[in-house]
Structure 1
Amino acid sequence: MQDDDLPDDDPSPFGDPLHPDDRLWRHPSEMRSVPPVGARSIPDTVDFAPAPPRRRLAWSALVASSLVGASAALLAVLATGMGERVVERIVETPPSAAPSSLVPVATTVPPNGPAEAVEAVLPGVAHLTITTEGGTVDASAVVVRADGYLVTDALPLEGASEVLVTLADGRNLPGEVVGSDPVSALAVLRVDATDLAVVDHGTPADLEVGQWAMAIGTHEDGGPSVSSGTISALQQRAENGAGTVLYGLIRFDAPVPGEVAGGPLVVDSGAVVGVAVKADEEASFGWATPIDEVRQVADDIIELGHARHAWLGVEGRRTTEGALVSAVVPHSPADTAGLRAGDVLLHADGEPLPSMGTLAALIRAAEPGDPISLTFLRDGAEHTATATLGERS
């Protein structure tokens, strides 16, 4: 039995070895053929010494070591991720459905379609980027005067250190908070411009339950954000995130996203009838302050620096007959008009009063100094009195 390290005259199954310049290794006897440092990398002539007798073990070890080395190199590449095959794919997916709050769900639409209503109102809507200690907040605002005044929901402005107003024409202007009203939760902003587009105002008194309505806001890039539905109730009350109870609100069947808060509520005629406010975060519907109250509050803040609110001076609760007066503030307009605790208010200026909330909404829409005619029930008999509304201090 031959030893593996003895010469083997049988032809090698691996064939003749490669030229030294074509291999990654050299036998020591071939080293003298390597050019000296500084010589040409490929010599014109190479004097090869006779190759030593080939041994099977030597070639087997060489192949084995080469395979081991290659395997180690491959493992190293795979371990470092350099050998991974990178496949770049472009995956096309259909656009996801828009949130339900942005999909029109109205049973009636404006004669010319929602797109025309948006196009008509959008020039008078601005996007607000509000910087607070906790980050940035998005909202919208409605232009109320061409000389740079806008009105918005006051809640997003709480704790604001900076307000950037993006107008419909793409201008970015710093916004100054002129004032805010804690009673209506509305605020007025001013920008340095005199050519703003003012939206057309409608008449909230003409609204009907079931009527189509759409709250419009804008994204930072100026594109519209729309929340539409039908008006489901009028003269409603709700509490906003700051704990303020708002009266006389318009309720419509679509929630108000953050960027829509402060934007206009538009009806089928294309007129603005209110300003959307953030109230009742968990609700699946939205709220808007009637535009009559918005105009009044905005005018007061611009001219006086604060909003003026009418005041009657009664407390009470709802009953099956009407609004029961439980207390009358001494020396108040109600006291002067002769109202007493225990009276049941039936009508105010001819409007039915099913609750104190309805009365509060009517007073909120009035101005200090306005007269109000009250029909009430006392001891089973109807009476009428006229009170002159005072100003809430």
Structure 2
Amino acid sequence: QGTGSGFILSSDGRLITNAHVVEGTEEVKVTLKDGRSFDGQVVGTDPVTDVAVVKIEATDLPTVNLGKAENLTPGEWAIAIGNPLGLDNTVTVGIISALGRSSSQVGVPEKRVSFIQTDAAINPGNSGGPLLNATGEVVGINTAIRANAQGLGFAIPVETAERIANQLFSKGKVEHPYLGIQMVTLTPELREKINQDQDFDLKVTQDHGVLIVRVVPGSPAQRAGFKSGDIIKTVASKPVKNATEVQQGVEASEVGSQLEVEVLRNGKTKLIVVRPGAFPMEN
């Protein structure tokens, strides 16, 4: 059996941790700092953001103060708490190294998170524990997502974690908005490569921007009229420079609501209105 960390969101026993810590189980044993032990019920998990929530039957529990990851600046202190290797209440300190690291930069392209990077030591048992700022507010959930990354720790921003946790507690699941496009951030080299590749059958003239290379058949994007070769200019009226910004724009929308996307097609700007579907989860 595995161990991991978590923290208490509400005095009546709502806890948050990483999805991979409680993967494949519905019941967990929860031990608090004061030594008390509880049976915990896994209320919901979201593998896409690696967030899970657990409920224990308890009252008057101490809770954490939530801060804001968006207010962090690289260079400020970061404190990680957890129980690596079962060594409980291990505290490690470092700095915030960077913000907004995309899932593909971190090497987990299947996730949908802009990670906080820190050099505070985060080991497998720390997963699910809090990352704090210098005033003791929680700014992220530590996740030992790259076992081989020495000196690199990653955390899920608290805003993402809290939003997902609230949905898991209220509905037991999370729906992630999904368009069904494969896209790349263009560079002059990539443009040349795509134009020479007969599999793509595209003639790209732009050196920069976000190019749609494939539209998934039967997807919301196909129904809305997106085509491979389109260059995405704006999402919800916000200009986008790279694929990560497009992803963030889609993630901020709601399943079934209208999302306006401006594309460049054959040199002309075209406004497409799409209704994002729910990200197809593999069970």
TM-score, length of structure 1 as denominator length: 0.57
Tell me the residue number matched to 1:323. 210
Does the 8 A contact of 1:165 with 1:172 survive in 2? yes
Is the counterpart of residue 303 in structure 1 residue 190 in structure 2?
no
CA shift, 1:349, in A, is 3.8
Distance 1:221 1:265 in 2: 17
Q: Partner of 1:98 in structure 2?
A: none
What is the CA–CA distance in structure 2 between the aligned matches of 1:367 and 1:209, rounded to whole Å?
A: 31
CA distance in 1, matches of 2:233, 2:27: 47
Measured on the aligned residues, the alpha-carbon RMSD in Å equals: 3.0
CA 1:368–1:145 in 2, change beyond 3 Å: closer, same or farther?
Answer: farther
Aligned residues: 256
* Cα pair 1:235 1:361 within 8 Å, conserved: no
User: Is 1:163 paired with 2:163?
Assistant: no
CA-to-aligned-CA distance 1:13-57 (integer Å, 9 cap, x gap): xxxxxxxxxxxxxxxxxxxxxxxxxxxxxxxxxxxxxxxxxxxxx
- How do residues 1-393 of structure 1 correspond to structure 2 at under 5 angstroms? 132=1, 137-158=2-23, 163-218=28-83, 223-237=89-103, 238-239=106-107, 244-283=110-149, 284-320=151-187, 321-330=208-217, 332-349=219-236, 351-393=238-280
Q: Whole-Å Cα distance in 2 between the matches of residues 392 and 338 of structure 1?
A: 19
**Alpha-carbon distance, 1:149 to partner:** 1.4
Structure 1: tracts of 5 or more residues without a match: 1-131
Whole-angstrom CA distance in 2 between matches of 1:352 and 1:218: 42
Helix, strand or coil: the match of 1:138? Answer: coil
How far does the alpha carbon of each residue in 1:214-237 deviate from its partner, in whole angstroms, 9 at most, with x for none?
322257686342242223231421
Tell me, in whole angstroms, the C-alpha distance in 2 between the residues paired with 1:288 and 1:193: 28
**Equivalent AA in structure 2 for residue 329 of structure 1:** V
Partner Cα distance (1:253, 1:352) in 2: 32
Cα deviations by residue, 1:105-148 (Å, 9 ceiling, x for unpaired): xxxxxxxxxxxxxxxxxxxxxxxxxxx2xxxx332102223321
Q: Does structure 2 conserve the Cα–Cα contact (< 8 Å) formed by 1:327 and 1:341?
A: yes
Q: TM-score, normalised by structure 2?
A: 0.76
Amino acid in structure 1 at the alignment position of 2:152: F
Amino acid in structure 1 at the alignment position of 2:138: V
Pairwise CA distance, 1:381: 4.0
Unaligned runs of 5+ in 2: 188-207
Change (3 A) 1:256 1:223: closer
Amino acid at match of 2:244: G
- Give, in angstroms, the shift of residue 192 of structure 1: 1.1
Separation (CA, whole Å) in 2 of partners of 1:230 and 1:167:
27
Please give the alpha-carbon distance, in whole angstroms, between the structure 1 residues aligned to 2:66 and 2:123: 23
Is the CA contact 1:274–1:289 (under 8 Å) kept in the aligned structure 2? yes
